[in-house]
Structure 1
Amino acid sequence: MSEFLRPSIDGSVFGAVHLGYIVVRSNRLPQWRRFGADAIGLHVDEIDGGALRFRLDDRECRFLVERGPAEDVTAIGWQIDDHQTFDRILARVADRGVPITEGGADEAALRGVERLWRFAGPKGLAQEIFTIPVSAAPAPLRMLSSGWVTGEAGLGHVAIVSREPEAMRAYYRTVFDSRLTDFIDENVSGLRMKIRFLRVNERHHSIAIANIRGLKIDPLRTRVQHINIQSATLDDMLAAFRRVTEQGFRMQWSVGQHTNDRELSFYCVTPSGFELEVGWNPVVIGPELESTWEPATYQGISSWGHTPVGATVLDKFTQFRQALRTAATPEITVPQLTGGPR
């Protein structure tokens, strides 16, 4: 457990929550296998029934790709340090009238956890919480990368474009006591974008929430904009960049450095259409920094690099058409957990 204040002291669950795994539904499993293993450099296992699991460390599962037509992330799994914290989170959700279901034994086994519970999340992303992951040790990792950074910081982070950013921020504050790390203001093709970065442990952010200021539109088909994972070394990150290009997968943003968390990274497009960010060496907000941290606003996402790669007029048209389509449909916000009307 981390050195942050425990729930028994301050009533907060902050520091005891860690991004554990990501669940994807896709009918492009051969492409996913090649993308994850040959391009990014992850360990891959084929599971009976038509599913893939990717490992980054001693856990049985960090990414689960199940067969299905969504071509999107469908669930986010969160590890909770202890049963006291776990019960506190479940009570917060249940007391506000949000249904909670226990995942079946087969679902838990696929995700590499002993048991899990599930409840509704923003944008239709199911939130799954668990306490005990299943270790794959001593089975060796078979991957091209030398390693990935997980541990107390969790798997990485999830970035989401939302038309209701304050409701989403309130959701993660209510459920996980997330804290605001900082903001970024960015101008993208003449549109003003605001990004909020939320942390639930020492990782600079586990959730990033972006919205287009003044317009309730979402230009993306997928629920998430990108998933981030952290390379153990700079050489690993650069080698993955080279392999993605050589394997013929689409690069979205070249190598660059972010203004706020100082992470060096690149972005590529997964077989399901959302992006994967592979990064290295972001800021870590340990207990000493945590005690004095104040949110700041940064102008621009990157201090250098992160230039777009291969964007076409058709891409822009597709995003515009998607934005018009979503404008007529309310975004899922789970108002019981955002302070809004039930």
Structure 2
Amino acid sequence: MNGFLRPNTGESVFGAVHLGYVVAQSARLTDWRRFGAEAIGLHVDELGADGLRFRLDDRACRFLIQRGSAEDVMALGWHVDDHDTFDRVVARIVDRGVPLIEGAREEAALRGVERLWRFPGPKGIAQEIFTVPVTTPEPLRMLSSGWVTGEAGMGHVAILSREPEAMRGYYHTVFDSRLTDYIDENVSGLTMKIRFLRVNERHHSSAIANLRGIKIDPIRTRVQHINIQSATLDDMLASFGRVTDLGFRMAWSVGQHTNDRELSYYCVTPSGFELEVGWNPVVIGPELESTWEPSTYQDISIWGHTTVGETVLDKFAQFRQAVRAAAAPEITVPQLAGGLSR
């Protein structure tokens, strides 16, 4: 890594980092194609027998689904605006002794970026950073009229963690994330606390949830959900109808969140983690940013977001997963946790 500069790593990179792409691994590519293209309404590009990509905008790739057995999210790609900011992020990583490697040219091409660098992330989700995305003039072929990306990035990721403070410290150390707000939600008599972190004008690019006082994780997948934002309310509601009509599982009905005011629904992807399709969340622009103070909300939703089709067997499966997860420590990256790791 000697080719990188050593800038002032204390200078904030907030506002210059955006969620750029998601990499998942699945053996259910046929289901993924049908789910993404026909139900959600995304543009799909086939990659032969080894995978497929979904587009939301002029970027060559926003979702990369590669053939494999994990049925999970494997990596998050973060777009860094410029080389000076990139060097600051890199210095924070390597100066703390965390390994950083350049991805192969073939990996970069699949992800629709010119070059990428990879380093370890919480829960074993690789974090990848890049500065130059590949765009394409090819028109979008999709059922949706459009998706909101741009300065806000492609959406957000939500993760259930047994080490929430370590994860919060990680994203603050690497990307200068800021705490937007909290939600305390009662779940079957237990309190779930959710921390919402922003790295740009999007209300949150990551959400970190934990059950207060109990270190359990009932979710099989590394992420609980990925969020994307519809350009119009009609688009969001139309995709809700298609998901239902095509027989994909709905997890949470249409509703509105208390904190970011987004209208959305949650459906289950072919790999098991959820996809939230939303519309019109709060944007924390410069004026709001200058006076923003975190608040705590007592419920996730103002209305709606009721569970759909959950059974007693689902509850037992979650309990078994929690027991299995408790036997092994959660993966953290203590060097980047800002002193908040266990």
Same fold (TM over 0.5): yes
Amino acid at match of 2:92: R
Amino acid at match of 1:321: R
Aligned position for 1:261: 260
Q: Distance in 2 between matches of 1:335 and 1:164?
A: 11
Aligned position for 1:62: 62
Aligned position for 1:155: 154
Q: Distance in 2 between matches of 1:55 and 1:83?
A: 25
Aligned position for 1:3: none
Measured at CA, do residues 84 and 335 of structure 1 come closer, stay the same or move farther in structure 2, by a change above 3 Å?
A: same
Alignment partner of 1:182: what SS?
strand
Once the two structures are superposed, residues 46-94 of structure 1 have per-residue CA deviations (whole angstroms, 9 ceiling, x without a partner) of: 0135110000000000000000000000000000000000011011000
* Matched ranges for 1:77-92 at <5 A: 77-92=77-92
TM-score in terms of structure 2 length: 0.96
Q: Distance in 2 between matches of 1:318 and 1:51?
A: 29
Once the two structures are superposed, residues 213-238 of structure 1 have per-residue CA deviations (whole angstroms, 9 ceiling, x without a partner) of: 01000000000000000000000000
Q: Distance in 2 between matches of 1:115 and 1:266?
A: 34
Aligned position for 2:122: 122
Q: Distance in 2 between matches of 1:329 and 1:50?
A: 32
Once the two structures are superposed, residues 169-222 of structure 1 have per-residue CA deviations (whole angstroms, 9 ceiling, x without a partner) of: 000000000000000000112221000000000000000000000100000000
Measured at CA, do residues 295 and 141 of structure 1 come closer, stay the same or move farther in structure 2, by a change above 3 Å?
A: same
Q: Distance in 2 between matches of 1:87 and 1:10?
A: 12
TM-score in terms of structure 1 length: 0.96
Shift of 1:328: 1.3
In the alignment of these two chains, the number of paired residues is: 335
Q: Distance in 2 between matches of 1:164 and 1:72?
A: 20
Aligned position for 1:223: 222
Q: Distance in 2 between matches of 1:9 and 1:121?
A: 19
Aligned position for 2:95: 95
5+ residue gaps, structure 1: 1-6
Aligned position for 2:4: none
Alignment partner of 1:184: what SS?
strand
Aligned position for 1:185: 184
Shift of 1:9: 12
Amino acid at match of 1:100: L
Q: Distance in 1 between matches of 2:173 and 2:10?
A: 15
Equivalent residues of 2:8, 2:88 under 8 A apart: no
Alignment partner of 1:236: what SS?
helix
Measured at CA, do residues 249 and 97 of structure 1 come closer, stay the same or move farther in structure 2, by a change above 3 Å?
A: same
* Matched ranges for 1:192-271 at <5 A: 192-271=191-270
Measured at CA, do residues 299 and 55 of structure 1 come closer, stay the same or move farther in structure 2, by a change above 3 Å?
A: same
Q: Distance in 1 between matches of 2:49 and 2:117?
A: 22
Shift of 1:258: 0.1
Q: Distance in 2 between matches of 1:47 and 1:323?
A: 36
Q: Distance in 2 between matches of 1:31 and 1:339?
A: 40
Aligned position for 2:113: 113
Measured at CA, do residues 221 and 10 of structure 1 come closer, stay the same or move farther in structure 2, by a change above 3 Å?
A: closer
Alignment partner of 1:187: what SS?
strand
Alignment partner of 2:128: what SS?
strand
Aligned position for 1:39: 39
Shift of 1:339: 2.8
Equivalent residues of 2:9, 2:92 under 8 A apart: no
Once the two structures are superposed, residues 285-309 of structure 1 have per-residue CA deviations (whole angstroms, 9 ceiling, x without a partner) of: 0011000000000011000000000
Amino acid at match of 1:62: R
Once the two structures are superposed, residues 86-140 of structure 1 have per-residue CA deviations (whole angstroms, 9 ceiling, x without a partner) of: 0110110000000001000000000000000000000000000000000011x11
Aligned position for 2:336: 337
Q: Distance in 2 between matches of 1:195 and 1:38?
A: 32
Shift of 1:283: 0.1
Aligned position for 2:3: none
Alignment partner of 2:294: what SS?
coil
Alignment partner of 1:85: what SS?
helix
Shift of 1:33: 0.1
Q: Distance in 2 between matches of 1:184 and 1:133?
A: 34
Amino acid at match of 1:258: H
Equivalent residues of 2:9, 2:89 under 8 A apart: no
Aligned position for 1:324: 323
Aligned position for 1:4: none
Alignment partner of 1:99: what SS?
coil
Q: Distance in 2 between matches of 1:308 and 1:190?
A: 16
Amino acid at match of 1:96: R
